[in-house]
Amino acid sequence: MPGPPPAVAAVRVAVRRALTQVPLGPPTAEPLLLVACSGGPDSSALAAGTGFVASRLGWRAGAVVVDHGLQEGSARVAQQAAALCHELGLDPVEVVAVEVVRTGEGPEADARRARYAVLADRADALGARAVLVGHTLEDQAEQVLLGLARGSGARSLSGMPPWRPLDAAADPGTGGALLLRPLLGVTRQQTLQACAELGLEPWQDPHNVDPRYARVRARRALADVAVDLGPGVVAGLARSADLLRDDADALDAAAETAYLGMGDPPWEAGRLRGLPRAVRTRLWRRAALASGSPGTDLTSEHLLAVDGLLTRWRGQGPLHLPGGVQASRTGEQVWIGRPT
């Protein structure tokens, strides 16, 4: 008996690998997975692949469709996506309308924040073990390219992890729902082809070709680079992300060991000098975040300035970090926290 078409098989294999290699724990009575489905090609292919694979592994598969309300007719598109999920056998399927709050970080960031809040809420309410999202190989490469353009460090250049706690602030050991990205090794063309082979008619989001969005501009730039350097550039950027993620994880572990050994600030300058700068900057970041500095505003420039208290100190006064946090040095003591 012939197997499924190649693109359909690629999606199903990717979903099966994610569900069997990620620490979800064994399926229990009525275990549930949720697919975040917009009705576009990537999430539609993911919904189809999850619906096929999950039941064969002992899982139930449902879906959440988030209506951001950012386009005319968004409610209709959301209902069509929900209908598609029902046709694919997913249950339950929920449509949730959300108000995207403008924060000044840009429409993409604002919509993403609202979307993930909904996904975390519905996963908790429905008792889902994981939420699956449809980011592809090209999405990963675009993420790395954007990080390069911003001059980001290894953690940012490591792209999107294959899985993480759905609540980014949660401890991975608390047993909360996970966010899974099964399709990071699957191309956008494969998801389009999978939809065609399954007879699905996905929605084409006009925002995906709107140059006002940074990701769209990165997509176009990546296509131009691929013309000049060859089609392997997309896979190469994604592979670099995987390698840098290993490096970033190792540095984070080294910083955690150093933090546990030194305790909370203030810290002895002599002990800090014996650490690599990549470890020290992670210590500065951890201490600043623990004191209430918002991670979205804390930049590499801030962290390098704090490191200057160790390497270029001439008695200068305290540094002011986002969120009312300060970094200062007195003699051989370096301190980060809120002023008393």
Residue 129: DSSP 8-state? S
* 284 or 151, greater pLDDT: 284
Residue 324: DSSP 8-state? G
Q: What is the pLDDT of residue 172?
A: 47
Q: What is the pLDDT of residue 326?
A: 96
Q: What is the pTM of this model?
A: 0.87
CB 89 within 8 A of CB 51: yes
Q: Is the pLDDT score of 36 beyond 90?
A: yes
Feature table: binding site: 38-43
What average pLDDT score do residues 270-289 get? Answer: 95
Residue 333: DSSP 8-state? E
| Separation between Cα atoms, residue 334 and residue 129, nearest integer Å | 43
Residue 152's pLDDT band (cuts 50, 70, 90): confident
Q: Is the pLDDT score of 2 beyond 80?
A: no
| Separation between Cα atoms, residue 15 and residue 168, nearest integer Å | 22
Amino acid at 11: V
What average pLDDT score do residues 270-299 get? Answer: 92
Q: Where are the domains of the chain?
A: 6-234, 263-337
Alpha helices in 69-212 (DSSP H): 74-87, 107-126, 137-150, 154-157, 188-197
- Whole-number percent of the chain with pLDDT over 90: 76
Q: What is the pLDDT of residue 124?
A: 95
CB 261 within 8 A of CB 274: no
Beta 178-180 vs 163-165: how paired, if at all?
antiparallel
Torsion, Cα 111 137 121 207, to 10 degrees, reads 20
Residue 139: DSSP 8-state? H
Cα–Cα distance list, 19 to 5, 38, 84, 94, 306 (Å)? 21, 21, 22, 22, 42
Rounded to the nearest integer, the mean pLDDT of the chain is 92
List the beta bridge partners of residue 94. 64
Cα–Cα distance list, 200 to 16, 160, 192, 204, 332 (Å)? 21, 27, 9, 12, 66
Q: Is the pLDDT score of 315 beyond 70?
A: yes
Of 124, 224, 173, the closest CA to residue 23 belongs to 173
* 140 or 208, greater pLDDT: 140
Q: Phi and psi for 324 in degrees, rounded to 5?
A: 75, 15
Q: What is the pLDDT of residue 96?
A: 97
The hierarchical CATH code for the domain 6-234 is: 3.40.50.620
Q: Is the pLDDT score of 12 beyond 80?
A: yes
Encoded tokens for 275: 């650490």
Residue 174's pLDDT band (cuts 50, 70, 90): low
Q: What is the pLDDT of residue 212?
A: 84
Is 263-337 the same fold as 6-234? no
Q: Is the pLDDT score of 334 beyond 80?
A: yes
Residue 101's pLDDT band (cuts 50, 70, 90): confident
Feature table: binding site for ATP: 38-43
The hierarchical CATH code for the domain 263-337 is: 3.30.465.60
What average pLDDT score do residues 82-97 get? Answer: 97
Beta 333-337 vs 267-268: how paired, if at all?
antiparallel
Q: What is the pLDDT of residue 1?
A: 60
List the beta bridge partners of residue 185. none
Residue 88: DSSP 8-state? T
Residue 123: its H or E element: helix 107-126
Encoded tokens for 148: 């390069």
